């Protein structure tokens, strides 16, 4: 029989918490002094450990109470339910993480103008909900639509998307200060082409089609692409052409058999 403060020290649970558990009937101490001070037995401590254990799995106190009292508690079902719940929460957090990364990259893309990035992304996410997808289906064949799902996007379903965005961000950054032929810009182009070869091997025709659509602001918007200013796109195209002409009968179109 030990006092509440001793329990707190041993278990690293606060006195307040112990009193609260007593109050809601989750862990009533097995006896009290005549003056009303709580006294905890070894069994109480063991029960407390169990409570901690279940708490570490994200259960709420009410549920823990049921588990501990109901002899017919279905453990497997209960655990699987909790597991499902935890996984849903994880999915929610993942979406939040993606939104945050998207905005961060958006701000980078807009050269620090958050208002711009926020507005564009809000507009995009609203369109996402409304878009009837007909435009996409009209523009592409079935095989192309399958490729479409693998494209990087600002909603960032895949980490790869973020790499693409970072590359675009670099282009926009250099756009303000460097000529398209500068080594920095050419380096980005090279990395873009490498990524393209990795992720879309042997799909040059599809990529060319995409590029044409990308250059049309209205088509881009209808397709739900993140809006990029036309002058940036032109800058990118020039840099690309310079890269191609420099590598000429090049040694880079080989990657993609994996």
Partner DNA sequence: ATAATAAATGACGTAACGTCAGTTTCAAGC
Partner DNA sequence: GCTTGAAACTGACGTTACGTCATTTATTAT
Determine contact, residues 171/185, Cβ cutoff 8 Å: yes
Nearest CA to 172 among 101, 226, 99? 226
CA separation for the pair 234, 207 (Å, rounded): 16
Residue 9 interacting partner from its own copies, DNA, none (CB closer than 5 to 8 Å by kind): none
Residue 83 or 145: the one with the smaller Cβ distance to its own copies is 83
Gap between the Cα atoms of 234 and 117, Å rounded: 21
Which of its own copies, DNA, none does residue 3 bind to, with CB < 5 to 8 Å depending on kind?
Answer: DNA
> What is d(CA 103, CA 120) in angstroms, rounded to the nearest whole number?
10
247 binds, among its own copies, DNA, none (CB under 5 to 8 A by kind): none
Distance CA 6, CA 8 (A): 5
Nearest approach, Cβ of residue 119 and its own copies (Å): 9
User: Which residue's structure tokens are 């996984």?
Assistant: 87
26 vs 107, which CB is nearer to DNA? 26
- Which of its own copies, DNA, none is residue 83 near (CB under 5 to 8 Å by kind)? its own copies
Residues within the interface to DNA (CB under 7 A): 3-6, 14-17, 19-20, 32-38, 55, 60-62
The residue ranges that bind its own copies (CB under 8 A) are: 49-50, 53, 56-58, 75-76, 79-80, 82-83, 86-87, 89-90, 93-97, 99-101, 103-104, 107, 114, 118, 121-122, 125-126
Nearest CA to 78 out of 89, 65, 90 is that of 65
């Amino acid at each position: 029989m030990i006092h509440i403060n001793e329990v707190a020290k041993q278990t690293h649970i606060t006195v307040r918490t112990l009193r609260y558990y007593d109050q809601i009937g989750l862990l009533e101490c097995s006896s009290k002094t005549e003056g009303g001070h709580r006294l905890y037995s070894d069994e109480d401590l063991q029960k407390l450990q169990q409570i901690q254990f279940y708490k570490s799995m994200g259960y709420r106190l009410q549920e823990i109470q049921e588990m501990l009292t109901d002899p017919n508690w279905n453990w497997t079902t209960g655990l699987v339910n909790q597991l499902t719940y935890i996984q849903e929460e994880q999915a929610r957090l993942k979406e939040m993480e993606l939104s945050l990364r998207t905005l961060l990259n958006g701000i980078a893309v807009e050269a620090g103008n958050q208002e711009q990035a926020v507005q564009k992304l809000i507009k995009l996410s609203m369109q996402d909900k409304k878009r009837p997808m007909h435009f996409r289906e009209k523009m592409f064949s079935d095989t192309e639509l399958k490729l479409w799902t693998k494209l990087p996007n600002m909603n960032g379903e895949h980490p790869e998307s973020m790499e693409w965005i970072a590359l675009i961000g670099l282009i926009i950054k250099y756009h303000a200060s460097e000529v398209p032929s500068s080594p920095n810009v050419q380096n980005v182009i090279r990395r873009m082409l490498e990524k393209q070869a990795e992720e879309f091997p042997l799909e040059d025709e599809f990529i060319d089609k995409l590029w044409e659509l990308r250059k049309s602001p209205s088509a881009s918007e209808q397709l739900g692409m993140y809006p990029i200013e036309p002058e940036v796109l032109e800058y990118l195209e020039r840099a690309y052409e310079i890269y191609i002409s420099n590598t000429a009968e090049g040694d880079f179109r080989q990657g993609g058999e994996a």
